[in-house]
Amino acid sequence: VAAEAPDPSDPDYGEFPLRTYLGFDLEVKSPGEVVAVLDLEERHLNPNGVIGGGVLFTLIDTAMGKAVFSVLNEGQVCASLEVSTRFLKGVGSGKIEADVSVIKAGRRIITVEARVHGEPGRQLLAVATATFAVIDL
């Protein structure tokens, strides 16, 4: 049974239980441009008292996927092929924000980049690039 492509106008578009549990927000600013925001809580922190790498990676990968979905045609979905993430600085409180942009959209491969900033002063926490496969349903 073939899956249907998500409808980007659906308010639940891009929802899944892990995102709901982590509690971050995603907003499509324009096709190919997404902002993800997370208010850090104790559950997001590792034993060192800073955001866990898996939490940060999930924020980045989910925001990247939403950015890619925002430029797909009807009847298409995407899947992450590879994600390269550089964790630059840890933070243990405040708000973090991932700014994601599609930098090249081909017929079968889409390349995306993310820059994650945190408080105070929008310090750079991580940078990432990824490639996504475009899949026709």
Q: Domain for residue 43, yes or no?
A: yes
Tens-digit pLDDT profile for residues 17-70: 788 888 899 999 999 999 999 999 999 999 999 999 999 999 999 999 999 999
Domain count, the chain: 1
Q: Domain for residue 3, yes or no?
A: no
Backbone torsions φ then ψ of 63, nearest 5 degrees: -65, -40
What is d(CA 123, CA 64) in angstroms, rounded to the nearest whole number? 20
For the chain, strand residue ranges (E) read 25-30, 33-39, 76-87, 95-105, 109-118, 123-136
Among 2-6, 13-17, 55-59, which is the least confidently predicted range? 2-6
Q: Domain for residue 11, yes or no?
A: no
Q: Domain for residue 9, yes or no?
A: no
Q: What is the CATH number of the domain that holds 123?
A: 3.10.129.10
Locate 96 and state its tokens: 């973090």
DSSP states of 58-89: HHHHHHHHHHHHTTPPTTEEEEEEEEEEEE--
Q: Domain for residue 42, yes or no?
A: yes
Q: Domain for residue 58, yes or no?
A: yes
Q: Which domain holds residue 119?
A: 17-136
What's the pLDDT band for 120 if we cut at 50, 70, 90? confident
Locate 84 and state its tokens: 């390269």
Q: Domain for residue 107, yes or no?
A: yes
Q: Domain for residue 6, yes or no?
A: no
Judge contact between 96 and 114, C-beta under 8 A: no
Locate 108 and state its tokens: 């079968």
Q: What is the pTM of this model?
A: 0.87
